[in-house]
Amino acid sequence: MRFLYKTVCLLAATMAWLAAAHFPVQAQPPLVVACPDYPPWRMALEDGSFGGIDIELIQLIAERMKLPLVVERMPWHRAMYMLETGDADMLSNVFKTPARERFLHFLSPPYRTRSRVVFYVPKGKEHRIATYGDLGLLRVGTIKNVLYFPQFDADKALDKQPVMAELQNPRKLLDGHIDTYVETEVAGDWTLMQAKLSNRIDKADYHYELERPVYLVLSRHSRHADRLEEFNRTLRSLIGEGVVERLVDKYLEREGLDP
């Protein structure tokens, strides 16, 4: 009887092993990343794929966590809606607010803690803007609905001239329609590099250092929300390895500059 019992148990174990071999555990669902255009952080490439500093960082996270990755291009407002419903899992370059914390996990630590806002001028006129007060008599190009830093955003005395797209401001500057334009340094340098205008436009002496953490976020309704701490550990490890700085240098073809 004991021999028969052992034989049955062995047969059951063998059948279970064979079943597992032929029918593996169901694959992990993909990590769906929302991608509103924001070069060089997030962008669709000419070949139909996606790239940018943030996208490459998320690709490394997914690779280390053995998650398949799906990137979907969409406007910002749709990205936030899909994160709220759980139809998208992750988004980059997000500022923390109480309203967003209701439906988002903010991965810790933030992968950027500050940015530099600069004013671009024609080469040779860098000293024209040495202090904030020097902006008073100038025509300043901005991008519609973009916030830069509190003093500038609230200043209604300045002659601000908004445009819809980043590349319009360098053209307006060179054509003499504005005297300067404002942009975050990474995005501004990227635009100049892509337009091949870095030899004609430079940064003014005055700039503003903005201390504000920027986060990767995971939807609270994500199918991967139960791996939140693993996401945090993986991101922390990549930041500690200097990955973010190297990606910034790669996209701007520079070395030793802050993002």
Determine the pLDDT at residue 258: 42
Q: What is the 3-state secondary structure (H, E, C) of 13-73?
A: HHHHHHHHHHCCCCCCCCEEEEECCECCCEEECCCCCEECHHHHHHHHHHHHCCCCEEEEE
pLDDT at 210: 86
As a whole number of angstroms, the distance between CA 149 and CA 156 comes to 13
The whole-number pLDDT of residue 212 equals 86
pLDDT of residue 145: 79
Same CATH topology for 31-112+214-252 and 113-211? yes
Write down the pLDDT at residue 67.
97
Report, as ranges of residue numbers, the positions in the chain whose pLDDT lies below 70: 1-26, 254-259
The confidence score (pLDDT) of residue 256 equals 39
Residue ranges of alpha helices (H) inside 86-201 are: 98-101, 150-154, 168-174, 185-195
Domain residue limits, the chain = 31-112+214-252, 113-211
Q: What is the pLDDT of residue 115?
A: 87
Architecture of the CATH domain 113-211: 3-Layer(aba) Sandwich (3.40)
DSSP state of 142: E
196-227 tens-digit pLDDT = 999 999 999 999 998 889 999 999 999 999 99
- Token pair 């029918």: residue: 23
State whether residue 76 is helix, strand or coil: helix
Q: What is the pLDDT of residue 2?
A: 42
pLDDT at 254: 55
Which residues pair with residue 127 across a beta bridge?
Answer: none
* Correct CATH for 31-112+214-252 of 3.20.20.70, 3.40.190.10, 3.40.50.300, 3.30.1330.90: 3.40.190.10
- Which residues share a beta bridge with 116? 209
Closest CA to 135 of 185, 172, 179: 179
Provide the angle, in degrees to the nearest 10, between the axes of the packed helices 243-252 and 228-240: 60
DSSP state of 145: T
